[in-house]
Amino acid sequence: MRVAVFGTGYVGLVTGTCLAEVGHRVTCVDIDRDKIEGLKQGRIPIYEPGLEPMVLANHAAGRLDFDTDAEAVVARADVLMIAVGTPPDEDGSADLSHVLAVARTIGRSLSRPAVVANKSTVPVGTADRVRAAIAAELAARGVAVEFEVVSNPEFLKEGAAVNDCMRPDRIIVGSRNPRAVETMKRLYAPFNRSHERVVVMDERSAELTKYAANAMLATKISFMNEMANIAERVGADIEMVRLGIGSDPRIGYHFIYPGAGYGGSCFPKDVQALERTARQHGYRARILDAVEAVNAEQKSKMFELLARHYGGEAGLRGKVVAVWGLAFKPNTDDMREAPSRTLLAQLWAAGARVRAYDPEAMTEARRLFGGREDLVLCDSPEAALAGADALALVTEWKAFWSPDFALLARALGDKVIVDGRNLYPPDEVEAAGLAYYGIGRGRSL
Ligand code: NAD
């Protein structure tokens, strides 16, 4: 099939590439000329494991192309996918301007029957607005072309996006139009061989499914962080509690790690947007409010532990803190809403300086913070320790899992570690002569 994908970010580029990998002919369209030029020359704008070789191979094979000229692409596509950003508006609700801009572009160029599939995360009712925007453009042109709008939310995880896309847990197709559903099933047939993964429902349920999934995951994180905060106060170790509750299959081990709060481009904005949607419909979503509030506080947890060690914020003035991990989670270069950003801002506000290292997010860190005098971006974990007084482990990249604690004790002026992911065994760290602070480990009282 011929597919056009609008937006070449984490979702659009990965989806387009995976669809090309299984034999479809895909053109990725973006308004960012530099991105498209770079992609044509084999420069991949994001870090995502396994993506680069797949893009290069499919481009070379002629199945994957990149363009800024939407008109030509729309004219020959069977399926048009919308995968542009839906950032938070000023009031926290989803900004649909990019999605609706694509809808209008489609309406201006559509000349043959097509299915428009929306992969962006959008509030309930957006399929109707996309349909109306396309219809208005067609009417203005005085042409009648058959089209159907399908909600097809995306569930890939940054850091594992290619794998998620090639082996999806489920494929949600939101449409009440049997022909559009059939088209989507044909599109996804190569991903659906071992068992049925396509779940068909109406557009509104599909749109809400995406928010419900992210809200549930964010809730699990905030719940565990709340348990961690209780554990810390009562002298319990949340890591023991985690193992104890995860063993119950109704709870499970997935996604119950306490930490420095959730970040990234999805959970914060999606929880907020769903909360706003609920409010617009006269319902106060109290669980979502609490999930957000707990998370906002949790993002300050690492700073709070450091300040506690130094006898208050004032004790951090002039200190040098090594920060391991800047990306909002491992295996990505994405720093949107990352807990590291909260920690950095708080350290700087307290007069501390930072030496930071991340395996993939250095370019992004340079873009965000380049030129600051109180930040040194280092090219290895060891370099970040040079001259540092304390270490803050923010992102659980594998490279940080097994440090030499004796070496850390020699390198760190004040011999203190704040472990924002509970990676390290407190006894071992302390045996090496370091002070250890984890998340929700009552022993750190
Ligand atoms: P992104 O910011 O990485 O990429 C968006 C791209 O869209 C950019 O390259 C931008 O230039 C392009 N764009 C904007 N307006 C355009 C237009 N009119 N025509 C063509 N291109 C245009 O975004 P993302 O992280 O890929 O997210 C896209 C959507 O998918 C969002 O709604 C997000 O919530 C959702 N989503 C994201 C993830 C994730 O992990 N990142 C997972 C599932 C769903």
- Of 149, 179, 201, the position where a domain reaches its end is 201
Contact 186, 254 (CB under 8 A): no
Residues 6+ apart with CB under 8 A from 13: 5, 28, 39, 44, 45, 46, 48, 51, 55
Residues 6+ apart with CB under 8 A from 68: 29, 30, 31, 33, 36
Residues 262 and 376 in one domain: yes
Can you give the CATH number for the domain in which 94 is found? Answer: 3.40.50.720
Q: Is 272 in the pocket of ligand 1 (CB under 6 A)?
A: no
% of the chain residues with pLDDT over 70? 99
- Give strand pairing partners of 201: 174
DSSP alpha helices (H): ranges in 281-377? 286-298, 301-309, 339-349, 362-369
User: Ligand 1, atom 28: nearest CA belongs to which residue?
Assistant: 85
What would the pLDDT profile of 258-317 be if each residue is shown by its tens digit? 999 999 999 999 999 999 999 999 999 999 999 999 999 999 999 999 999 999 999 999
Contact 259, 299 (CB under 8 A): no
What would the pLDDT profile of 14-73 be if each residue is shown by its tens digit? 999 999 999 999 999 999 999 999 999 999 999 999 999 999 999 999 999 999 999 999
- Give strand pairing partners of 26: 3, 64
Residues 103 and 243 in one domain: no
Q: How far apart are CA 163 and CA 365, in angstroms?
A: 26
Residues annotated within a binding site: 30, 35, 86, 121, 155-158, 210, 255-259, 263, 269, 329, 336
Instruction: State the pLDDT at residue 445.
Output: 43
Residues 195 and 309 in one domain: no
Residues 260 and 404 in one domain: yes
Instruction: State the pLDDT at residue 11.
Output: 98
- Of 157, 176, 201, the position where a domain reaches its end is 201
Query: How many domains does the chain contain in total?
Result: 2
Domain enclosing residue 217, as ranges: 202-445
Q: Is 291 in the pocket of ligand 1 (CB under 6 A)?
A: no
Residues 184 and 272 in one domain: no
Phi, psi dihedral angles at 82 (to 5 degrees): -105, 120
* Tokens describing residue 177: 């139009």
Instruction: State the pLDDT at residue 443.
Output: 67
Q: How far apart are CA 232 and CA 236, in angstroms?
A: 6
What would the pLDDT profile of 208-230 be if each residue is shown by its tens digit? 999 999 999 999 999 999 999 99
DSSP summary character for residue 437: E
Pocket test for ligand 1, best of 51, 84, 98, 163 (most atoms within 8 A of CB): 84
Q: Is 78 in the pocket of ligand 1 (CB under 6 A)?
A: no
Report the nearest atom of ligand 1 relative to the CA of 99: 18
pLDDT at 329 over 60: yes
Pocket test for ligand 1, best of 265, 269, 272, 328 (most atoms within 8 A of CB): 265
Task: List for the chain the helix, strand, coil content (%; round to 5).
Answer: 45, 15, 40
Residues 176 and 219 in one domain: no
**Which H or E element spans position 29?**
strand 25-29
What would the pLDDT profile of 399-445 be if each residue is shown by its tens digit? 999 999 999 999 999 999 999 999 999 999 999 999 999 999 986 44
Q: How far apart are CA 441 and CA 272, in angstroms?
A: 29
Q: How far apart are CA 159 and CA 153, in angstroms?
A: 18
Residues 254 and 401 in one domain: yes
Residues 250 and 130 in one domain: no
What would the pLDDT profile of 152-208 be if each residue is shown by its tens digit? 999 999 999 999 999 999 999 999 999 999 999 999 999 999 999 999 999 999 999
Instruction: State the pLDDT at residue 85.
Output: 97
Instruction: State the pLDDT at residue 162.
Output: 98
Q: Please give the span between the terminal C-alpha atoms of the chain, in angstroms, as a whole number.
A: 60
Residues 189 and 218 in one domain: no
pLDDT at 90 over 90: no
pTM for the whole structure: 0.95
Instruction: State the pLDDT at residue 302.
Output: 98
Residue pointed to by tokens 């599939």: 117
Residues 197 and 229 in one domain: no
DSSP summary character for residue 266: S
Residues 144 and 230 in one domain: no
Residues 79 and 23 in one domain: yes
- Of 180, 201, 222, the position where a domain reaches its end is 201
Handedness of CA 126, 127, 130, 136 (dihedral sign): negative
